[in-house]
Amino acid sequence: MARLNSSFARVVAAWVIGLHVILLPALYYAVGYVIKTSHEDLFVENARTFARVLADEFELGVAMESASRTEDLLDVAIVHGDGRYAELIEGVNSTRSKLNSPNVNVSRSTDLHFDEDGDDVYFVVLPIVHGTRNAELRLGFDEQPTLERVHMAQRHLLWLLGSYFGVAIFIAIVLSNRLSRPIQRLQDVSRAIASGEYSQPLEISTGIRELHDLAADLEAMRSELVGVNLRLQSQIREKEASEMRREELQKQLRQKQRLETVGTLAGGVAHEFNNVLVPIILFTDMALQDLPERSAARADLERVLGAARRAKDVVRKILTFSRELGDSKLTAIDMRAVIAEGLNLLKALGPPSIEIHTEVSDTIPAIRADATLALHMVVNLCTNAFQAMQGSNGVLTIGLRSAAGHKVEFWVQDTGHGMTVSTVERIFEPFFTTRSVGQGTGLGLSVVHGIVESFGGIIKVESEPGKGATFRVFFPAFSEHADGSVGLGE
């Protein structure tokens, strides 16, 4: 298995073929040799026995009495002994059978070996002693029939071994394929698993027990992997979700901290301002009383007093943002009534180019709020929407419905110019405004934020530049617990 690119089937086939290429010729030669020598031995034995019998007949019989009798006996050797040549030599006289083959090479009459020199004749030479006469009997036997039998046997052997070789290779290939196909499949599957593809169950059919067990083990491993993977994936999803929740909470916390800082600052500034406004208002008031009715300074001082009163309103709004909500009392209120009242105001306030739609559900739980502040919130959000749609036709949608988690959702949607992410992040800061100077104080939405927080609600903004904006407010639905305390949902 030195070459890594050899498949199992090829290796088995190569070994089978290699072994047979070496062993089969050796077997062929060994068996062929045995066949040939056994036939040769039989042939030589027969030839010699026949020659001995014929020699006995010459020595003991009357064949030597006359030339014709000698010739007859020699003919017997040709006819009955498979002879090709028969001759009796006595001194210089020689008698030959008339049936002798003409093409026998007599000079090779001393050939005492089977199948030699290619003349197909086997010679046997025997001395004859008949009384006082000495002669020599020369017999040539035909090797051809025996050689043909040998060759035929060898051809049969060759066919037999060849067929065996073919069958052996066929069986080797079939067997190795039966082995290697499931192994190949197992390999494919384990590669797929290694590369992360293990959703498909293993389907390996094999009659080989070891491979079946291996496939079963692999399938068990695969399904375990699937389980582990599913667990890991759900853990990762959980982790991601909790990470997102954490980030969202951190973002909310940062936002809250920033608003708290600004709120604290605003509250402190408001206090100082109020102290500054007291002498401005009172001294201006007194100066006005001292001035004659038609005086130039009087008009100026009235402007000062007007400005001081506007400053007082601004400070009140800052205080609303920083939760200085005065004597606001939270009671169970119906937001539908607040919206209905707000709509009456908005119809008077809103530009005629803007359509107002309402999507108010019929059954809405009460919320714990202050009705005046809630109206303030509705009007401020809608005023903000009007300003976002200024100078164009637009649709303002006011909605109210129950939301998941025992909450009431109130939303105001406009089709105005929308906001960038950085604007959305700062939208609730006091004095943050995208409008030009003089078109708004930048306090409206910070006041809304203060009001929503004071009701225990949260406010969210969805907006993209050019795609309008939606302000969603979620209030805890009002419910009274058995102990009389007021629950605020979640």
Partner 1 sequence: MHRVLIVDDELDVRDAVKRVLERAGYTVEAVESASEALESLRHTNVDVVITDIIMPKVNGVEAIHEIRASFPRVKIIAISGGGNFGITAYQPSAITTTAYLAAAERAGAHLILTKPFESSDLVRAVESVLGVGHA
Positions in the binding site for partner 1 (CB under 8 A): 256, 259-260, 263-264, 266-283, 285-286, 289, 308, 312, 315-316, 319, 322-327, 453
CB of 419 to partner 1, least distance (A): 24
- CA-wise closest residue to 96 among 105, 85, 109: 85
| Residue number with CB closer to partner 1 (297 or 337) | 297
For residues 324-362, one letter each, b for 16 or more C-beta atoms within 10 angstroms of the residue's C-beta and e for the rest, the string is bbeebebeebbbbebbeebbeebeeebeeebebeeeeee
CB of 436 to partner 1, least distance (A): 29
Q: What is the residue type of 407? A: K
CB of 297 to partner 1, least distance (A): 18
Structure tokens at 483: 């102990």
CB of 194 to partner 1, least distance (A): 57
CB of 314 to partner 1, least distance (A): 12
CB of 362 to partner 1, least distance (A): 33
| Residue number with CB closer to partner 1 (411 or 455) | 455
Check if the beta carbon of residue 122 is closer than 8 Å to that of residue 100. Answer: no
- CA-wise closest residue to 190 among 214, 210, 213: 214
| Residue number with CB closer to partner 1 (12 or 448) | 448
| Residue number with CB closer to partner 1 (244 or 286) | 286
Q: What is the residue type of 78? A: I
From residue 89, how far is each of 93, 112, 113 by CA, in Å? 6, 18, 21
Strands in 458-463's sheet, in edge-to-edge order, are 354-360, 394-403, 407-414, 469-476, 458-463
Cα-Cα-Cα-Cα dihedral sign, residues 476, 477, 482, 485: positive
Structure tokens at 274: 């109020």
CB of 229 to partner 1, least distance (A): 46
| Residue number with CB closer to partner 1 (21 or 265) | 265
* Distance (Å, whole) CA 313 – CA 289: 24
Query: How many Cβ atoms from other residues are within 10 Å of residue 84's Cβ?
Result: 25
| Residue number with CB closer to partner 1 (40 or 453) | 453
| Residue number with CB closer to partner 1 (306 or 351) | 306
